[in-house]
Amino acid sequence: MLRLSKKVQSLPPYLFLEIDKAKRKARQEGRDIIDLGIGDPDQPTPMHIIDALNQAARDPANHRYALDQGMPALRQAIASWYKARFNVNLAPDTQILPLIGSKEGIAHFPLAFLNAGDISLIPDPCYPPYKGGTILAGGSAHLMPLLEENNFLPDLKRIPFLARKKAKMIFVNYPNNPTNACASDGFYRELIDFAKRNKIIVISDLAYSEMVYDGYKARSLLEFPGAQDVVIEFHSLSKTYNMTGWRLGWASGNPRLIAALAKVKSNIDSGIFSAIQLAGVAALSTGQDFTAKMCQLYQERRDILVSGLQSLGWQVTKPKATFYLWIKIPGSSDSMSFASRLLKEADIVATPGVGFGRYGEGYIRMALTVPKERIREALERLKKIS
């Protein structure tokens, strides 16, 4: 009998696959499902990006293996975007690495630095690849609770001495998935100082920086003094330009960290299809009007869902970033049971908080990635079971 490796056995089930199975089963039964689960934009990729892909895909020069480091044109476009958006100067050849989506880079990065017995400091709740990448690299996770009373920020002062000494890296993600929390400048300065004092790499997941509301503007950790000594930051075109299926992102920051990730990836993949890279160049040249339009769309949906849930007596506040609501479960139900009840009794898919970690218990996450009419329909269904 073949046995899975201990590393694979220790991986938790990937929550979104389990949700997708339940959702497909319900649809096969002919039920009208409103999917507020996975954060997958429902709007199309802008046509000029599709046109760029179409044109590039017809060029035989783009049909061969891509450069592992990414095309110079894409790396330069990323550098220009970072300069325009955050006023951060990055060297395209040494401080930027295109990725097959930011998820694979985040999951692969621990392979570059973790040995058996090393620790990753991981927020809980969190995006699952932080833990999965650590486990597959042979490391161990020390969980940092994200609690409402601390604005869903990790309390760095409460990390035990031994964990700090064994830690090689710390993951942060603001604007945050799943809690939608945002980090203050003071927290970022404290984090950089903490990382330098303890010789820890900071992994910043900035996938939701452009999904912001009510005048809020998210910052890059690389904006802060000293950050480029210890930080590698991951970004993605998925949410900003409705390109989740295209799988295109990047890492940027400290040259040594970028080079280490590049070495890992050179032994795993052969680069990104060149036509998709050229489409990425077109995406990064998109004006701010498109992003503003998408934020307005999500903000309208946010306001409808938040006010509707509040009218039902649910505890939920308006997020100023991401396209998620992080909602306290009414009553005493656990998150898995409550999510199952929503699917069974209201044909609504929501993500149970415990799927993001033990400190996500007591919450569910809802995504704003369905039209306003479907959100209103969801609220009508919830009225009937509340």
Whether this prediction's pTM lies above 0.85 is answered by: yes
H helices present in the chain, as ranges: 6-10, 15-28, 47-57, 72-86, 102-108, 129-136, 161-166, 185-198, 255-266, 274-284, 288-311, 335-346, 372-385
Superfamily name and number for 6-44+289-385: Aspartate Aminotransferase, domain 1 (3.90.1150.10)
Q: What is the Cα–Cα distance from 164 to 284, expressed in whole angstroms?
A: 38
Strand pairing of 96-99 and 249-253? antiparallel
Phi-psi category of 214—alpha, beta or left, where left has phi over 0 and alpha has psi -120 to 50? left
pLDDT value of position 10: 87
Tell me the pLDDT of the chain (386 aa) as tens digits: 688 998 888 887 776 777 778 888 888 888 999 999 988 999 999 999 999 999 999 999 999 999 889 999 999 999 999 999 999 999 999 999 999 999 999 999 999 999 999 999 999 999 999 999 999 999 999 999 999 999 999 999 999 999 999 999 999 999 999 999 999 999 999 999 999 999 999 999 999 999 999 999 999 999 999 999 999 999 999 999 999 999 999 999 999 999 999 999 999 999 999 999 999 999 999 988 999 999 999 999 999 999 999 999 999 999 999 999 999 999 889 999 999 999 999 999 999 999 999 999 999 999 999 999 999 999 999 998 87
8 Å CB contact between 369 and 22: no
How far does CA 163 lie from the centroid of its chain?
25
Q: Output the CA–CA distances (angstroms, integers) from residue 66 to 74, 148, 172, 237, in the order listed.
A: 12, 45, 30, 19
pLDDT value of position 20: 77
Domain ranges of the chain: 6-44+289-385, 47-284
**CATH number of the domain at 47-284, please?**
3.40.640.10
Strand pairing of 231-236 and 201-205? parallel
pLDDT value of position 1: 66
